[in-house]
Structure 1
Amino acid sequence: MPSIVRGPRSPVLCTQTLGELIEAQAHRNSSRTGASFPWQHHSLSYQQFADRSKLLAKSMLEVGLQHGDCIGIMAGNCYQYIEVFLGAARIGCPLVVFNNTYSAEELCSALSVSCCKLLFLASNIGLKSLESHIQAVGIRPEELPLLKRIVQLSRKTMNIPSNVEIMPYSAFVSNDHSASINDATLRRAECKVRNTDVLNLQFTSGTTGAPKAAMLTHFNLINNALLFGSGLRLTDKDIVCCPPPLFHCFGLVMGFLGAFTHSSSIVFPCDQFDANLVLDAVSEAKCTVILGVPTMFIAQMEANKRKGYRLDTLRLGVGAGSTVPAPLMRDLRQKMGIETMLIAYGMTETSPVSFMTSIEDDDERRATTVGRIQPHTLAKVVDSEGNILPRGVPGELCVGGYLLQKGYWQNEAKTAEVMKLDDAGIRWVYTGDECVITADEYCVVTGRIKDLIIRGRSPEHYDSLILTRGENISPVQVEDRLLEHKSIADACVVSIKDSKYGEVVGCFLRLEENSSKPSNAEVNQWVRQRLGSHKAPQHVFWIGDPGVGLDYPKTGSGKIQKHILRTVGDKLVAGMQVKPKL
């Protein structure tokens, strides 16, 4: 039997835009709490979703934004994030969500690629100040000619020299600021929006390392959220705890939109992940569902050893990014009261969920697979020539259906690489993941075809405190930065196994002739100066050193064999960690 599966054709897909859905949900739920942010001592009702998003939309129109203009945001999980998202949706302005770990230079690059005209920027995320980001953006008008204004998500703006107007969020959304835009003007702008319009741009790493922004439409995201929430059996009685960040599909789509489309309430316990604040929120709000990657759940169990909360309201946990091992499921049941853990699988380009386990699945299915295909979704497993493989044979997973991105923003070449039409005229996204479709149509992820390093995925042994979300790291991007160092002649970056983060960055370097070898700390700092700290190499190996080899292992065509380097690196690190017998 061939490895091709089709999801059910029911329920009927939603055709509303998010703006239309905002109004419908406000009418249906009115004063019901839609989202709460205990770390900000703030909450929003469904009616406030409508009212506040109107204010934001009017202010956006007042400063000259039009249908299709991009709006950027870099912030933690704050109430302003939701207001900006909903306000932009009303008038057809795609919201570009920037990774919280971006360096100032990475933010400027992403702003340039996405052509943002307006940027919402937090003053800090957790303990990390974004002053350098604000300054970098504000003094580069030649690189960001379209950017006209920065709105700081704080009461006062920083006193920073800038060629771009900077104003506080409170002033931007004030009634006075949007007074020139009346309700009739807003309605005319809203009438231009179609469900095929881009709602959200999400940057995703690829094998080339070049920044690409997935264009996700109203139709994509609303329906993915509806189907995901249905799989959780969400109702207006549920309270969802959402530690994953809003710059990921996990937080924005599966979290916020999943709850919003089912009239549930959602709690964002912290601006960035803090296990203690998550536990406080679950206990105080009596949350019924909790989202997270396995490493988050591990950290929460460790933290609860000190807090000692009796968490008896959670009926469901949802993991993404990797399967949840059976031992972890048992611990979550015993220590956090989570009777059932579900796994959702997908990628940014598929809005994101394409496979998901169900409440009816037994523990073994939920621990070893990513479930079955979602409704209105297609999937197949193919070989390197694109031929569909038999069930049980590993190959590359391809996904089709309503959930496919519109393409990569202003990048037809990269879109064509990932999205391909078959002979029947069906469009597929090639995921880069190696998978198996079983005889009973469950999907098992067996590896990755792409060379992405995923720092923060669940390790096999989860016996340490991990405070991470699972970040995709492009080796090429790190390699390019390393090669800028005057002492480095060649660089190859691979994943190295890690008991804490699952995978971390390792690099194999060749020293420039007649150069002095920089220390590991210097190499790490060199990368940190330009890229996010999570991209800095944790392990540095030099060609010619004992155990490394005199040259890179290569194929007959001269391509470096990264899988061999990964094995070498893993062995070297394991040897370093062996304690001598006394």
Structure 2
Amino acid sequence: MSGTMATTKVSSHAEPAKSTSPSMSFVSGSRSPPLWEETLGELIDRHAVKYGTHTAAQFPWQQNHKLSYNDLASRSQVIARSMLARGLKHGDSVAIMAGNCYQYIETFLAAARIGCPFVVLNNTYTPKELVSALQASSCRLLFIASTIKLKNLSTHIDETRKKLPSLPFVLLASKPGMKDYSSFVKEGRTITTTALKEAESFVGNSDMLNLQFTSGTTGMPKAAMLTHRNLINNGRFIGAAMNLNSADVICCPPPLFHCFGLVLGFLASFIHGSTIIFPCDQFDPDQVLDALHAHKCTALLGVPTMFIAEIEANKKKKLNITTVRTGLAAGSSVSPILMKQLEREFGVRGMLIAYGMTETSPVTFITSLDDDEERRTKTVGRVLPHTAAKIIDREGKIVPRGVSGELCTSGYALQKGYLNNPEKTNEVMKRDEHGVLWMHTGDECVIDQKGYCSVTGRIKDIIIRGGENIFPHEIESLLATHPSIAEASVVAVSDDRYGEVVGAFLRQRPQAGCLMPNITLSQDAATRNLSRPNWQEVNHFVRKHLGSHKAPRYIFWIGDEGVGDEFPKTGSGKMMKHKLKDVAERLVKEGRGGGEEQTKLKARL
């Protein structure tokens, strides 16, 4: 890799041995079929020969733009040449911020051909977060859309130009003064086939293919380095679990900036010769329904919140959708009630649940089409091939089956590490006494006698809102900068639509010039309410600096009735968030957590 993409080196992952004690929480997947050891560039060319003119991807929202397997091979070659003409070389990162467009797929495959790590940028990033991610990844070329659905990215573009003036842009639409995509594609005419083949010859399957940020990029971002070997085999095993083949048509509304859209969606489909439909640049239930109906899709991907929105939208559209034989959900479990609704509305009879994390490429457990309803709704299935998992206690010892503890996974899918962050890498990736490298997930799980895994909680302090991971510390750090907030603690609050939303416990900062400086906020209601921002102001403050999904749905002020006069903390001063969560759940049931302004905004949302 070039000097601009220095990496944290993690040595090869030893194959974990089969457990010798079936009574312990250790499971290991099959070692057959063998892992594929090719690069994505090699796979593109192999599939062009195998599937030829068969449609690989289709984009109804982009004038029904189609790409065959032949197109993916030829277009990725053309764009790879343009990247080479720009001076990019093996190891130079290429980034993209866009909706689910055909350019996303073309640039991803082109970068893969010549060994340029592809950096996928979250569509909810603020301009500041975008710049931070580009700096952290040492980006050498940025592809960016002018808009994503109704979101205008002009401010993002202006901020990046200001802070990173030497970074070249390619706009995925025509705009005065900026190189657009169609012009960029023509730049590679000067690069010969021989030069392209030479660049491709330097790429190995252990090279980084994709760089995914796993947390907010304000402060210290963590960027997971995922290889060709990681992602190709993960997509392969996911598609196999869904029984995908060239006759399948997959509808994929999850975003390509996430492993869900890129790996569970595109790569799983591509590897099995299927056709994938990207119905919208950003999720729109009506467009999803139109795609399911028009293209007679056989598989539907999404998180439960998407499925609920689609079912609700179809009450008005009343489309007769009966072709969806299977589907894949991730982010949170699908309730039996929702499973039945999906079968009734769309004909889905085999909705699978996948579990994993970005750092494991991402899936390590998945349910089966043969599983009964209880296992499909209450577990995340069994471990994938060439993958092992164990449940450990706080001392690191494997616990008996049926006993909860932290889930650790091992095998081919483990990331190379976090980019330029050996400290964080070593915190979560640890070798056991046999030299096997394990990813410590931070999730509390149970493995039963049949090897099925159930997620019982999260050891890591993460909020999962509609399948998107939110890290409370980032929000807490921002809230602490508000002039009226002295202390903040953020927790997950249950929500019927999103699974979880953000709840913030706040302590008001004593006001400058207060006539009663020694009176605490909890002792005097008048003082407590002096210059206190309302829910709408706090929500807007977070939206202004972070993605909108990170803005608190509920706020609770320390000192208010029912909240408590102090934050619950341990003797060492650590926040006891489980107690705060209990308080939040109780207050929300009572209809509290923000007042009238919140209720009005919730109705609009």
Instruction: Please state which band the TM-score falls in when normalised by the shorter chain.
Output: over 0.9
Determine the C-alpha separation between the residues in 2 that align with 1:402 and 1:354. Answer: 10
Match of 1:556 among 553, 563, 571: 571
Q: How does 1:209-248 map to 2 (within 5 A)?
A: 210-248=220-258
From 144, 150, 172, the equivalent of 2:169 is 150
Q: 2:371 matched to which residue of 1? A: 361
- Write out per-residue CA displacement over residues 487-532 of structure 1, whole angstroms, 9 at most, x where no aligned residue: 2111111112222222111111111112521222111111111111
Which whole-Å CA distance do the structure 1 matches of 2:200 and 2:539 have between them?
48
State which of 147, 150, 155 in structure 2 corresponds to 1:124. Answer: 147
Counterparts of residues 51-450 of structure 1 (less than 5 Å): 51-141=74-164, 148-154=167-173, 156-157=174-175, 166-174=178-186, 177-205=187-215, 210-450=220-460
Within 2, Cα distance between the matches of 1:514 and 1:18? 59
C-alpha contact (below 8 Å) 2:216/2:474 kept by paired residues: no
Moved over 6 A (4+): 206-209
- The number of equivalent residue pairs is 553
- CA–CA distance in structure 1, aligned partners of residues 130 and 167 of structure 2: 16
Match of 1:8 in 2: 30
Q: Cα offset for 1:90?
A: 0.3
1:207 is displaced (CA, Å) by 13
SS at match of 1:85: helix
SS state of the match for residue 15, structure 1?
coil
Q: Deviations over 1:222-241 (max 9, x none)?
A: 00011111111111111111
Aligned AA for 2:66?
A: S
Distance in 2 between residues matched to 1:99 and 1:301, nearest whole Å: 26
Q: For 1:457-481, what per-residue CA distance to the aligned partner results, in whole angstroms no more than 9, with x for missing partners?
A: xxxxxxxxxxxxx221111111111
Q: Sort the Cα spacing of 1:562 and 1:343 in 2 relative to 1 into closer, same or farther, 3 A.
A: same
Match of 2:482 among 462, 478, 485: 485
CA distance in 2, matches of 1:562, 1:364: 31
Residue 503 of structure 2, aligned match among 501, 506, 517:
506
- Residue deviations 1:235-260 (CA, integer Å, cap 9, x gap): 11111111111011110011100010
Q: What is the DSSP-based 3-state SS (H/G/I as helix, E as strand, rest coil) of the residue aligned with 1:529?
A: helix
Q: Deviations over 1:326-382 (max 9, x none)?
A: 111111111111111111111111101111111111111101111111100000000
One-letter amino acid of the structure 1 residue matched with residue 74 of structure 2: D
Counterpart AA for 1:28: K
The answer for the alignment partner of 2:552 in structure 1 is: 537
Question: How many angstroms apart in 1 are the aligned matches of 2:98 and 2:377?
Answer: 33
Residue identity (%): 57
Change in CA separation of 1:8 and 1:29 when aligned onto 2, cut-off 3 Å: same
Following superposition, the deviation at residue 208 of structure 1 comes to 11
What is the identity, as a one-letter code, of the residue corresponding to 1:435? C
AA matched with 1:510: R
Rounded to whole Å, the distance in 2 between the matches of 1:414 and 1:191 is 32
How far apart are the structure 1 equivalents of 2:217 and 2:292? 38
With structure 2 as the length reference, what TM-score do the two structures score? 0.90
Mapped to 1, the partners of 2:242 and 2:500 lie a distance apart of 29
Output the amino acid matched with 2:259. C
For the residues of structure 1 that align with 2:222 and 2:571, how far apart are their CA atoms? Answer: 31
Aligned to 1:467: none
- Counterpart of 2:118 in structure 1: which amino acid? L
In 2, Cα distance between equivalents of 1:535 and 1:209: 16
Instruction: Verify the 8 A CA contact 2:242 2:327 in the aligned structure 1.
Output: no
- 3-state SS of 1:576 partner: coil
1:210 is displaced (CA, Å) by 3.3
Task: Answer yes or no: is the 8 Å Cα contact 2:476–2:489 preserved in 1.
Answer: yes
Describe the superposition over 1:387-441 as per-residue Cα deviations: whole angstroms up to 9, x where unpaired.
1010000001000000000101111111000100000100000111110000110
SS at match of 1:139: helix
Change (3 A) 1:8 1:207: farther
Q: Which amino acid aligns with 2:501?
A: V
Instruction: Select the residue among 558, 563, 566 that pairs with 2:581.
Output: 566
Mapped to 2, the partners of 1:417 and 1:534 lie a distance apart of: 27
| 1:32 equivalent in structure 2 | 54
Whole-angstrom CA distance in 1 between matches of 2:349 and 2:34: 30
- After superposition, residues 456-467 of structure 1 pair within 5 angstroms as 456=466
Output one character per residue of 1:266-314: Cα deviation in whole Å (capped at 9) or x when no partner: 0000001111111111111111111111111111111111111111211
Question: Residue 500 of structure 1 aligns to which amino acid in structure 2?
Answer: R
What is the match of residue 17 of structure 1? 39
Specify every segment of 5 or more residues in structure 2 that has no aligned partner in the other structure, as ranges: 1-22, 513-530, 596-605
Q: Is the 8 A contact 1:206 1:452 kept in 2?
A: no
Paired residues for 1:465-480 under 5 Å: 470-480=467-477
The answer as to whether partners of 2:161 and 2:167 remain within 8 angstroms in 1 is: no
Unaligned runs of 5+ in 1: 160-165, 457-469
- CA–CA distance in structure 2, aligned partners of residues 209 and 557 of structure 1: 25
Measured in 1, the distance between the counterparts of 2:421 and 2:26 equals 29
